[in-house]
Amino acid sequence: MANESDVRYYKPKAEFSLDITDIQNFVYDMSRCIKCKGCTWVDHTYMPGAKFMTRCPSAEKYQFDSYGAYGKMRIGHAFGEGVLDWNEKALEIIYACTLCGACDVGCKRNLDLEIELSLESLRVKAVQDGVGPMPAHKKTAENIAKNHNTYAAPHDKRKDWIADVKPADKAEVLYFVGCAASYTNKEIAQSVAKIFKAANVDFMLMPDEWCCGNTVFSVGMIDEAKALAQRNVDEMRKTGAKVLVTACAEGYRMWKVDYPKLLNISTDELGFKVLHLTEYADQLIKDGALNMNKAMNTRMTYHDACSLSRLSEPWTPYEGKRQWMGCVEPRLERRRGTNGVYEPPRDILKAVPGVNYVELPRMKENAFCCGAGRGTREAFPDLATFSAEHRLEEIKHVGVETLVTACPHCKNNFAQAIKAHGDDVQVMDIAEAICASIES
Amino acid sequence: MAISKENYNVLSDIVGPEYISDDPVICEGYRSGPGGYENGLGYERVMTKIPGCVIMPSCTEEVQKIVKLCYRHNIPYVPYSTGFYGPRSHPHVEDALLIDLKRMNDFILDEKHFYVEVGPGMVYSPIQEECMSHGAYVVIGGGGAQASAIANLIGDGWSPLSHRIGLPHRRILGTEVVMPDGEILRMGSLAQGGDDAFWGESPGPDLRGLLRGYTGLRGCLGIVTRMAIKTLPFQPERLEPTGITPNTALALPEKRVKWINFVVPSKEAQVKAMKEIGHAEIGGAVTKVPLFWRAIAKSTCKEDFWDIWGKENEETVANFHIVRVLLIGFTSEEQMEYDERVLMDIMEEVGGVARRTKPSDESWIKNADSAGMWLMCGGYVSVDYVIETMSQAPEHGPVYADLKKKYTPPLMPDYGDPGWFQSFEMGHQGYSEFLVYWDLDDDTNAVDQFYVDTSKMNIENRFYTSLLGPHQPLYLTGPKYGPNYHEYLLKVKDEFDPKWMSHPPVPLSHDIFVDRAPWMENMKDWESPEDLEKRGYKS
């Protein structure tokens, strides 16, 4: 157990950066948690009532404070100070977490502490200390190293999803398909291609697309993630495409936020624009280039994928000094989830004829993660299932027939939970929803 | 003595193995500090311990079984609802059992009789949302929307909305307590033997006062497992949540709910306006707005706050007089129009000028935003809560401000800010609060000294204060506010908890802290028994 007198305060006026490879950069943030649990509760202004009060899957499932960000900050602080030893429970606490960013935006509602980066840094430390990641994550990493995808599927089958619509050899728009849409959710890739075609947009693929590295990055395997980031960014730059579009929220976050983070550049310095399909299609619809005429007569809701919403604000590297009262110099533009992609998917779905669109009680930055992403499904399937089932309760609460997501991982996780319970809810990706309303 | 394997197994059988743990990493997650209310100060460093074991019961019966086992086997335990209230709600002795009550978040709304019934795990904002959906409201205490309603009501339980809705103990209705030895006490209408919690009073002494003490006894007299809370009628229109984080607010239906800020010429005018508003029985909240709060509201980040606050000085702070009034059309738009006319008459009389005020509520109605108090410095505590007359606050505040200067730094430079005050109970009482802020990285020993010095200052000036009992050295404050308050409190403790198993050594914890902390030695100029340590924890 930790020595009481050693867990004390961060030294003032110290240089720091937002580099997650050094836990010391986040000891200040971890030491300032006040247990208000803003990380766990839905923003109180939006609190929907005595049901659906929380937005942290780990805290909701495991209940002990130690699984909420308030507990993890204390545990992380003790690790940062070198007064707590890793054990199995510590690994479970650090990894049985969807890294969904709910805690981060909740904290920045009042305190501006870097919770998400602290959690990412803790996982990097687990790997650096030789105890992480979890065995299931190591298997995924092996798959990626060997076959460039997370599923151990043959790399030469990656483009097997291509059907009626053929990509161009060269185009301004590059569609990054991602592992899921390439192998397990080909319907999403095919829908995206049809959307491009309907809008008369030429698109190309990466000549040799590899996994985005979401899992290896998310579990703290920073060297492997950095190598993938460098390789993918280099390949993208070589294509000459100006815009990268993806329909995978996790891939979107990797390209837009975490590649720049790994490569110590800003999102703007990538040299190309990263857009999620929802942003791209929304603009096409608003420009009149894409017409959604076919009615979908259904009561529908939308689940905000964490990586598209609160986690998707662009990245800017930061190095500075922390001074008196914890003030930093130079001024830090904090990523608070304010500018996540919230409206484009909603605008799209509301534009579909016949749709009776309703919001979930927990929406946008307050959404409850489906539980699939960032290595959770691989290592903690029970947490992933719990989260999806918990969210489904909310989905059924508003009485919808159709649940739309904007990430294949969300779709699959919900689909499994729906199948297991025999629920009468249809789950579809937003690419499929768009496609269904443009097909004549 | 650590909890034995045998006792652990019994506890595990009570709640199920997934709801108990003595893993050191799980227990580390329940550490009090280093951040948070009063954390980072000597009291937290000296007095708090990581629990030896954490257990999460789901119902009163489980709590009772846990407590009975603890009592039989001399296991100190601490009830814990959200953990927000800093070190005083965390274990103070080694190997204590922390009873985390968050699973007990039952909620029942009795629409007909205007009360809600909750467990200790239920926090305020969901209660308020449910109430407002049914035409009622509660006061979300200054502790914040994230506070356990039960913990807040048996401790503090007030906010600017207390202008109308009354003092917290009067909103406590039927209540169920697991006493320190495991006996169940039912109060109010629950004492009749039925399951109806609608009424607060019952035959015999009203023990609600005992539950609260002055401002709470931090679980040293048992565990409240169920409470009915009185709600008051609200207006019917929805207060719509708007905005996106971090700028979220409730959009107000302006003909039924409206905040108005008035600039008034002096402190005297401020007090007079508040009194008159109370006498006229209008308004839902009436409070002073310190300049400090405005700086917080204007700033976009910590650094921005210091830029804004750094431009102020003693003169600007001393000459800033704002009265913020919440008008509510409880019964009709016409009623609110009438209230507004009355308000304007009062303001004209005192020279108040209405300023443009946003038609939204960022804090108090549903989201009491206490968490933002830590943004500027990292360290924060309210060193006093005072429920007295309306005219006391303006006299009391400057004395506090003078004392604060002596301890600044490490206290945040606040240019002589005399705290804030507001109307309670329609102006029949005034509430004032004095808050201090500091950087955790500074030497905070002086903050510990200041805290105790405030009691001496209050005693010397014969000011009333409600931060007594476990909040200050009992042998310093008890003889002066009683004159034998300390003796009574200790008799009550001995009677209900003869083995001192329920959150030891509260209520003697601050006395023991002073004795243990070398930097407090020079502060001690009062008498206390030599066997404090032994008396505070008999195991």
Structural domains of chain B sorted by starting position, each given as residue range(s) with its CATH number in brackets: 5-100 (3.30.43.10), 107-233 (3.30.465.10), 251-360 (3.30.70.3450), 373-470 (3.30.70), 473-539 (no CATH)
Beta carbons within 8 Å of A2's beta carbon, 6+ residues apart:
A78, A81, A83, A84, B24, B28, B31, B50
Inform me whether the C-beta atom of residue A392 falls under 8 Å from chain B C-beta atoms.
no
Phi, psi of B511 (to 5 degrees): -60, -45
- Higher-pLDDT residue of A65 and B420 is A65
pLDDT the model gives residue B483: 86
Provide the pLDDT for residue A10: 53
Q: Average pLDDT, stretch A56-72?
A: 98
Q: Which CATH architecture group holds A150-286?
A: 3-Layer(aba) Sandwich (3.40)
Q: Which residues of A touch B127 (CB under 8 A)?
A: 50
Average pLDDT, chain B: 94
Interface test with A, best of B15, B22, B31 (most A CBs within 10 A): B31
Q: Determine contact, residues B231/B137, Cβ cutoff 8 Å.
A: yes
Q: Is the peptide bond before B410 cis (omega within 30 degrees of 0)?
A: yes
Q: pLDDT exceeding 70 applies to what percent of chain B?
A: 99
Percent of chain B at pLDDT exceeding 90 = 84
Q: Is the pLDDT of residue B204 over 90?
A: no
A146/chain B closest Cα distance in angstroms:
36
The pLDDT value given to residue B375: 92
In this complex, is the C-beta atom of A323 within 8 Å of any C-beta atom belonging to chain B?
Answer: no
pLDDT at A440: 56
Tokens 């406590």 — which residue? B172
Residue A44, pLDDT > 50, answer yes
Nearest-angstrom CA–CA distance, B182 and B502 = 10
User: What are the chain B neighbours of A116 within 8 Å (beta carbons)?
Assistant: none
* Chain A residue numbers touching B374 (CB-CB < 8 A): 32, 34, 110-111
Residues 385-444 of B with CB under 8 A from A: 412, 439-442
Q: Is the confidence at residue B539, as pLDDT, over 80?
A: no
Are the beta carbons of B419 and B386 closer than 8 angstroms? no
Instruction: Kindly list the residues from chain B whose CB atom is less than 8 angstroms away from the CB atom of residue A10.
Output: 440-441
Instruction: Summarize pLDDT for B80-104 with one digit per residue, the tens.
Output: 999 998 999 999 999 999 999 999 9
Stretch (H or E) spanning B250: strand B247-251
* C-alpha span between B149 and B431 (Å, rounded): 20
User: Band of the pLDDT at B206, cuts 50, 70, 90?
Assistant: confident
* Nearest chain B residue (CA) to A30: B35
The per-residue pLDDT of chain A, averaged, comes to: 95
- Written as one string, the DSSP assignment of A196-222 is HHHTT--EE--TT-----HHHHHTT-H
Residue B193 has pLDDT above 60, yes or no: yes
Compute the average pLDDT of residues A2-29: 76
Is B202 in a helix, a strand, or coil? Answer: coil
Q: Tell me which residue of A427, A436, A412, A426 sits closest to A185, measured CA to CA.
A: A412
Spatial separation of the C-alpha atoms in residues B234 and B120, rounded to whole Å:
24
Find chain B residues with C-beta within 8 A of A45's C-beta. Answer: 241, 243, 248-250, 366-367
H or E, element range at B279: helix B267-279
Task: Give me the pLDDT at residue A1, please.
Answer: 35
Higher pLDDT, B469 or A28: A28
pLDDT digits (tens, 9 = 90+) for B506-522: 999 999 999 999 999 99
For residues B14-33, give the mean pLDDT. Answer: 97
CA distance B349 to A286: 56
Band (B142; pLDDT cuts 50, 70, 90): confident
Helices (H) and strands (E) in chain A, counts: 19, 11
Enter the tokens of residue A8. 């004390």
**CB contacts, 8 Å: B439 with chain A:** 12, 324-326
In a mutagenesis test of the B interface, which of A35, A114, A383 is the best target, namely the one with the most B β-carbons within 10 Å? A35
DSSP B520: G
Beta-carbon separation of B245 and A327 below 8 A: no
What confidence score (pLDDT) does residue A8 get? 46
The answer, for B518 touching chain A at a CB cutoff of 8 Å, is no
What is the rounded distance in angstroms from the CA atom of residue B210 to the CA atom of residue B206?
8
Residue A171 has pLDDT above 50, yes or no: yes
Segment among A135-149, A318-332, A337-351 with least mean pLDDT: A318-332
Q: With an 8 Å Cβ cutoff, are B31 and A105 in contact? A: no
Q: Domain coordinates of chain A in residue numbers?
A: 150-286
pLDDT by residue (tens digit) across B44-79?
Answer: 999 999 999 999 999 999 999 999 999 999 999 999
Please tell me the distance from the alpha carbon of residue A328 to that of residue A334, in angstroms, as a whole number.
11
* A35 shares contact with chain B (CB less than 8 Å): yes
Q: Would you tell me which residues 228-287 of chain A have a C-beta closer than 8 angstroms to some C-beta of chain B?
A: none
CA distance between the termini of chain A: 66
User: What φ, ψ does residue B379 adopt, rounded to 5°?
Assistant: -115, 135
Instruction: Give residue B1's pLDDT band: very low, low, confident or very high (50, 70, 90).
Output: low
Does B215 reach chain A within 8 Å, measured CB to CB? no
ipTM of this predicted complex? 0.96
**pLDDT tens sequence across B239-279:** 999 999 999 999 999 999 999 999 999 999 999 999 999 99
Q: Chain A neighbours among B 66-95 (CB < 8 Å)?
A: 82-84
pLDDT at residue B275, rounded to an integer: 96
| CB-CB under 8 Å, B122 with A66 | no
Q: What's the pLDDT at A437?
A: 96
Task: Classify residue B180 by its DSSP letter.
Answer: T
Report whether pLDDT(A3) > 50: no
CB atoms under 10 Å from CB of A61, counted, come to: 17
pTM of the predicted protein model? 0.96
pLDDT of residue A2: 38
* Shortest CA distance from B377: residue in chain A: A325
Residues of B in contact with A126 (CB under 8 A): none
Residue A324's pLDDT is 86
**Are B371 and A36 inside 8 Å of each other by CB?**
yes
Give the pair of three-digit tokens for residue A339.
Answer: 């500018």
- Chain B's closest residue to A29, CA to CA, is B35
Distance CA A40, CA A178 (A): 31
Query: Does residue A324 belong to the interface with chain B, where contact is any CB pair within 8 Å?
Result: yes
pLDDT tens track for B375-393 = 999 999 999 989 899 888 8
The verdict on B367 touching A (C-beta cutoff 8 Å) is yes
Instruction: Look at residue A5 and tell me whether its pLDDT is greater than 50.
Output: no
DSSP state of A54: B
